[in-house]
Every structure is written in structure tokens, then in C-alpha cells.
Structure 1
């Protein structure tokens, strides 16, 4: 059966049952029971005409049985019994509520990510544990503590409104982007899951420009995946990537998401930067002054030493290596030993003509690299 269908069904059913029962464990168990029943029965009896409705009915009936046995509140039983299989509103509303609840700032960031993967993305607990490099038992405890924190803190199962929505949305977007970057750095399945969740959020909140911008940013970065490494697994820099191998359909979709939208926050700015790279016919044709301008804007909206490193690179290509080194000088102390900062300084120094100093900087960057592929790529620049 279709794994994506069952993951989406798990999320949809769990979200609805959490709203109706307030019991995360019950909701997840009943959703999984329904899926397991489908996997047993559908190959034998045939797939029903409305598979999503079949799963919802099976999960609802399982929840009713368990709540009756546990003598739960009559009102919650009544709400479950009145749930219609063809009811259109809860899926969108409930899954949006679920995302915002999982990403509540009262939870630690790692708990937000783990809970989102388990409940919204529908990943089994063992798979979530593998992604976090912990045991299944440890991850089960972490998820249990997160759910307990939601109950103890009285975190409401709803999408906030007004100023609270504006305040909370960055937490949701940050969790989704963290999922994407973890996948981009080595877990392709997780990267694809983050894009799927970003699509879901964009469909549920079409009027929020930063939501569409996050999806566009993920698509633009994902579009280069096939060209980022050579057959030996070594990294290929943007300058030397085969642009015919980029996913141009994803690029076109992302550019369309950005068209006519206001640039209101950091994801929109980063998406426009990524689009500048993605739409250039080759590296030499990149509009570096425009990218430098976007990075200047990003530094004002979302200042950080890491942004300054990227801004230095853009200024170096737009206005000469001395301009880039001047930007980098302002954050050198804050990023001492940070491999990308050392690599940026090495590249700018080499382009300024000081090859000996550049070689030493590339060696230092390689020593601080976070992966073997990155280390090899930097050592190749030593010459």
C-alpha cells in the first residue's frame, strides 16, 4: 500500500481524535490500530471506495470502545459518535491545530521536532529515535514527557489568532525548516517529509507569505540535491555544479510561490536569495549585487554571525574580495573555529591574491569541518 497515504491518514486521524478526546496516546493508538487493520484486510477484501473514511470510522470506533471501557466523559463519547466520515473541515483545521500544538514554545526545541515527526509526519517512534541517534525507549520517554508537558501546562489545542498567531508562527516555521535542514544534510527521507509538511501548512494558511516563502526556500534548496555530490560522494560547490541536473520544475514552482508576495520576513528573503542562484543560467551570470542587497536586508531582519558570513561572500563577489573580508572581520571573533567562516575567509583571501594565507585557512577549515565530504572538499582547495 501507499506509505505516504497511510502517513497522511495517521496524521489526519490522530489530529481529529486529539481534538475530540484530548488524549494524545489514545488518538495515536487508535489511528495506528486502524491502519494495521487496513493492512490486514484490504489485500484480502479489496480497498474500499473511500479508504480515508474507512480508516477514520475504524479509528473512531476503536476510540469509542476504549473510552467506554475506561468510563470516559459522556460529552467526549457523544462528540466522537457524531463525527461524520465525510466531514471536510476537521482535517485541515485539526492538522493545523496539531502542528501549532506540537511546536508550542513551552516545549524544548528537540521535543517540538520529535513530536512533529511522530504525530504530524506519522513516523514510527523507532524511526524518530534513529534520526535523533537515541534508543527507542529514550525517544518514547521524550515523547511522553512532551505530551505530559502539553497537558500539565494546559497548552490549548488550537491555532492562535491575532498577535498570538504572529508570535507563534515563527516557532512552527523554525521546526519545519530544522527538519528540512537535517534532511538536507544527510537524511533524504526527512527532507522530503519536511517539504510535505511545508506544503500542508501552505495549503492550510495560503494567506501567510512567510509560510509560502518557507516552502519555496525548501524547494529551491532541494532542487540542487542531485548535483551536490560527485559519484565518489565528494561535495561539488555551486560554481561547479551541473545545472542541467537541477530540478527545474521545483525551481519554477518556488518562483511562482514568491511572485507577487510581499517580502515580510527572513524566509522570504532567503527564498529570494536562493531563487537568485537557481535562476541564473550559470555561476558567472549570478546577479551578485542583488544578492548582496538581499543579504543586507536579511542582516537587518534576522541578524546573526552566520548571516554575516554569507553576506561577506556575496559582497566579495559583488564588490571585490576586500569588501567581503571587511564584512567578515566584524564577526571573526564570534565565529572562531567555525568551518564555513574559515572557508569563506580562505576563498576571499585567495581571490585577493594571498594564496599562502588562503592555503593555511583552508587547512584550518578542513580540520574544523563537520563531515568527511566537507573536509575533502576543503583540502582540495589547498593546492
Structure 2
């Protein structure tokens, strides 16, 4: 492995660990992010010359810590951040209910003083190591807009002096919705990377599943935590069949089901059965992630579209977002025909014009209806917006 490859791999595997550790020690997310970035810049300069260290993560953590300390000393000499410098020499904060630094960082960023989208975006940047462009795609907004949101969130943190402390048990429950959204967005970016050479980033999907398992240990009776874990396990189980030998995306209906990870499917199925029993015993009705898990449970058995439309109807009542309505429209097309699905999809043209999956779904239905010229135009629009190489290869073939 070359030094350049080692740096890319270390960024995938170590970024969140380094940032979270620095945030815990110094209590300053700006400092944590900037010091981690400086450490990776130092690695890019030194590893090709000196060789990759035996423990890349340890090297990056040590280097980032030294850079943070140097920065604090410079600032303290200017009388700008005496309190920050004091933190450097303070004893570590007790661990509290969250023992994993990365999970602690998710809860820390999901402070109620920040708007929900700001919480999610900030955590994707600090924990997932996603670029501003990748986060912008996840929110379907321009990159410049997302950059401003992240800057405003950090400015608000400083102005309000929001403490980066271990959340209490009450904090955990209040911030859980934002945390689940963060974990799922990290998973989605890994499952179908928005950009770059890797169509699938297993480091992100694995990290999201790891965090969901920790959340389930932390709050074992929460239905949405269980539902999110089951959902991601169902989806991740299909990963081995999602790319062809040529690197092209393989859609669900064309995948080799024998290649799926049936152990993960079995684990997810057990979680779904647990939730069904809990609801039958008088528990809370299923929420967004439990409904999505139920839909994917059907996909992992023998896709039956009429069965899938019903939970989408429930989901659209809970979360009538354009993305949910788009996915429901695709299911409707399988049950009632492409014309019915296209009618539903065309109603979403305004909010989803910048979303490649909208144009890809529309192109497929136009193709099935024999409207070839319109289909090619829709495929062209989808290709212009898609950044994933495997997905682009698939769309190019379907366009013809």
C-alpha cells in the first residue's frame, strides 16, 4: 500500500476517532477539527518521505494533540483564550453514561440550541469526515448554502458558549431524534457514496451500524433505535450483490440473493419480530425507522409490492417529505403501473429537481411507457446530477 493510499484509508478509519478524542480532551470542536486536519496534512507531507507509521491512528492522534496544544499556547500568549488553555491541563471529565468518544460526539453536536439540520450537518462533518459537498448532497442544497450553515452553527456555539460536555440521561432522550438522523445519513453516504472513486464506503456503513449498536445498548427499549439498527442491517446485507464485476450498480430486482449476508438478515428479522411483539403488547406505534425496516424486511424475503405500499402510506403520514413520497411513488408504479407512478412523481418536480434519483426514477417509468425521447432527457438530467461512478455506469447503460 502506498503512502497516499494509507492516508486515504486512515482518513476513512481514523478521522472520527481523532476528532472525537480531541473534542473530549479540549472541549473545542473548531480546535478539534482544525488540529485533525493539520495532522492529516502533516501525514501527507511526511509519510511519503518517511514511510507509513506502524500505527497510523496513534501517529495522527499524537500529532493532532501536539498541534492543538501548540495552538492553545499561542492563543494564551495573546491573552485570547486563557480558559481554553486551562482546559488543556484540567483532569479528564468523567465518562458518564456514554463511554464511546464518537458516540459522545454525536450527542454533543446534537444540542437543542442548534436547529435540527445544523445538528445533523455538523455531526456529519465532524464524525463522518464528510466534505461540505457530500453533506450538501445529503440535504439537497447547494454547497455554498451548506458551507454557510456549518459556519453559522459553529458561530452560534461560540456565541452561546454551548458546553461540550457529557450529556445526561435526560439530554440523551431529548437529542435522540437528531442522533438517529445523523447515524442514518452517515450510513446512506457510505452505502451509495455521493462522490469519489469508491461507489460504496464500507467504513461509513460499518461506523453507522456500530453506533446504532451502541445506542441500542444505551437505550435498549427504544423502538426507533431498534428499528434503525434493523433497517441498516437489512440494507447492508445486500451490499455483496450491489455491484457487478464491471463496477456497475445492480438494482434490487437484478441482484443475486444468494450473495446476500443472510446472517445480517436473520439478526434484523429478529429485531423486527421483537418490535412487532412490543407493539402488540401495547407499546408505542411504529415510527419512521421501524416502518422503513418493515419495508426492507419485505425486500429481503420476496419483494411483494402491495405489501410495501401500505407501510409507505403510514410513513407518508408521519414524514410527508418529498423523498418519502418519491419512494412511495416507485412502489405505486409497481402495483398500479408506470402511468400511476409517473403521475405521483411529476408532482415532486419542484422540490426534487436537483436530486438525481428523482430523474432516474422518472426516466425508468417513461422508458417503460415507451416515451423514449423523454426518458433519454430524464436520464441525461440524472447523469448530470449523479456523482457515484457505479450509479453513473448503470444510468448510462439504461439510457442506451
What is residue 319 of structure 2 aligned with on the other side?
Answer: 302
Aligned-residue offset at 1:196: 0.5
What is residue 142 of structure 2 aligned with on the other side?
Answer: none
Residues in 1 aligned to 2:193 and 2:36: alpha-carbon distance in whole angstroms: 31
Pairing 1:83–2:86 present = no
Structure 2 residue aligned with 1:92, among 79, 96, 99? 99
What is residue 393 of structure 2 aligned with on the other side?
Answer: 373
Aligned-residue offset at 1:129: 5.9
Is the alpha carbon distance of 1:101 and 1:9 closer, same or farther for their aligned partners in structure 2, counting shifts above 3 Å? Answer: closer
Larger radius of gyration: 1
Is the alpha carbon distance of 1:30 and 1:17 closer, same or farther for their aligned partners in structure 2, counting shifts above 3 Å? Answer: farther
Structure 2 residue aligned with 1:276, among 284, 298, 302? 298
What is residue 363 of structure 1 aligned with on the other side?
Answer: 376
Aligned-residue offset at 1:128: 3.2
What is residue 21 of structure 2 aligned with on the other side?
Answer: 13
Residues in 1 aligned to 2:91 and 2:370: alpha-carbon distance in whole angstroms: 75
Q: Is the 8 A contact 1:342 1:362 kept in 2?
A: yes
Structure 2 residue aligned with 1:288, among 305, 315, 318? 305
Q: Is the 8 A contact 1:316 1:325 kept in 2?
A: yes
Q: Is the 8 A contact 2:243 2:250 kept in 1?
A: yes
Q: Structure 1 length as normaliser, TM-score?
A: 0.66
Q: Is the 8 A contact 1:227 1:246 kept in 2?
A: yes
What is residue 204 of structure 2 aligned with on the other side?
Answer: 193
Residues in 1 aligned to 2:231 and 2:215: alpha-carbon distance in whole angstroms: 18
What is residue 203 of structure 1 aligned with on the other side?
Answer: 214
What is residue 230 of structure 1 aligned with on the other side?
Answer: 244
Moved more, 291-300 or 99-108: 99-108
Residues in 1 aligned to 2:364 and 2:38: alpha-carbon distance in whole angstroms: 52
Aligned-residue offset at 1:157: 3.2
Aligned-residue offset at 1:260: 0.8
Q: Is the 8 A contact 1:269 1:294 kept in 2?
A: yes
Is the alpha carbon distance of 1:327 and 1:230 closer, same or farther for their aligned partners in structure 2, counting shifts above 3 Å? Answer: closer
SS at match of 1:15: helix
Gaps of 5+ in 1: none
What is residue 154 of structure 2 aligned with on the other side?
Answer: 147
Q: String of CA shifts for 1:13-62, please: whole Å, max 9, x gaps.
A: 2232244xxx334455677899989x99xx9x998xx99x9999989988
Residues in 2 aligned to 1:307 and 1:130: alpha-carbon distance in whole angstroms: 23
The structure whose RCO (Cα within 8 Å, separation 6+) is larger is 2
Q: Is the 8 A contact 2:106 2:127 kept in 1?
A: yes
Gaps of 5+ in 2: 1-5, 137-144, 279-284, 387-391
Residues paired across the two proteins, number = 349
Is the alpha carbon distance of 1:108 and 1:271 closer, same or farther for their aligned partners in structure 2, counting shifts above 3 Å? Answer: closer
